[in-house]
Amino acid sequence: MNEKSKEKDVDKTWAQTRKNRQEKKLDKDWTLNGKVILKLTVSVLCNCLIIATQGTYKPEDIFRTVVASCAMKTSLKQVCRRFKRCASLTTVRHHLKKISLETLENRANIMLAKFATTIIPKHAHRWAIDITHRPYYGEAYQQENEIVSSQPKKGTTRFHAYATIYLIQMGKRFTLAIKYVRKGEDPRDIIDYLVEQVQSQGFCVHYLLLDRGFYSAKVIHHLMHVRNIPFIMPVVVHGKNGGFRRLFKGKKSYRTLYPLHSVKEGITVTFPAHIVIKYAKGKRGKHRREYYGYVVHGVHLPVKSTHEIHVSSVKPQFSKK
């Protein structure tokens, strides 16, 4: 190899080295880390929720403490104790009390819509609605209906609850609106509020995917005969015999009609039902058929696809043997 060839090889090596360094620098500049996410989250909260502060601590300091509490899944009290630069618990709570629940909900929905509308295309989507229950061990802050009762979870039957409407796009969840749920609130009003939030942003509802918490005769009647909104909802099966469980038979998935009567609500509604049969095939140590029931109104799809579509967009439902 002559001298000129060696020089060319050296030049290529150095050029490749410089290129690698530039790529690493570019990757470093565009890599998300904890500090970047914290800064972005605090900035969004400061623009969304305006609170007046005086003295040493600024709104950024208050929201940074709140974000730390959420990220660490612990209380504000523990965060204030752990970090010396944090404001005191009394100071943080004093400023957070300035934000009413109604203001928080309205501003949160404005913020969610602002970000979602820049990403989600404006055409008909299948939207999912579910209710989340957060365990609560204290007393109601202002009104007793702030706390809802539900099935025992993590040592309590008292919860703060909120409903969200969202879709799965590009493998990610995009929440468009949120609503605080109060004790005794009509689930029909919750659905109407969230659907109207979506429609007000120029989106269309192809159909809704509801979780099992909405299953009732009045909700089904409202969606079918009042709003005429296509939807899919899992059936809640009670008892070991009779009722909807009588439809859990056979070896093939099928469609049928089922009359649901509620004495308490004074409503009888007959809805189209999909009975989906899945084979466990050794999953969870089971070797048997598993039956799933769904209310399906205005949605045209193969019966076998009902379960996969619902589970892929809404938190998993429990099966009924």
Task: Return the HEC string of 258-317.
Answer: EEEEECCCCEEEEEEEEEEEEECCCHHHCCCEEEEEEEEECCCCCHHHHHHHHHHHCCCC
- Tokens at 186, concatenated: 């009509």
DSSP characters over 162-200: EEEEEEEETTEEEEEEEEEEPTT--HHHHHHHHHHHHHH
Instruction: Give the per-residue pLDDT at 153.
Output: 87
Question: Distances from the Cα of 129 to the Cαs of 200, 213, 233, 264, in angstroms?
Answer: 17, 10, 10, 25
Q: Could you tell me the two tokens for 250? A: 């056979």
Instruction: Give the type of residue at 167.
Output: L
The pLDDT value recorded for residue 10 is 44
Confidence (pLDDT) at 75: 87
Residue range 183-206, pLDDT digits in tens: 999 999 999 999 999 999 989 999
* Residues in the chain with pLDDT values less than 70: 1-32, 282-285, 287, 315-321
Spatial CA neighbour of 235 closest among 252, 258, 264, 266: 258
What is the predicted pLDDT for the residue at 258? 95
Q: What is the pTM of this model?
A: 0.81
3-state secondary structure of 18: helix
Q: What is the pLDDT of residue 72?
A: 87
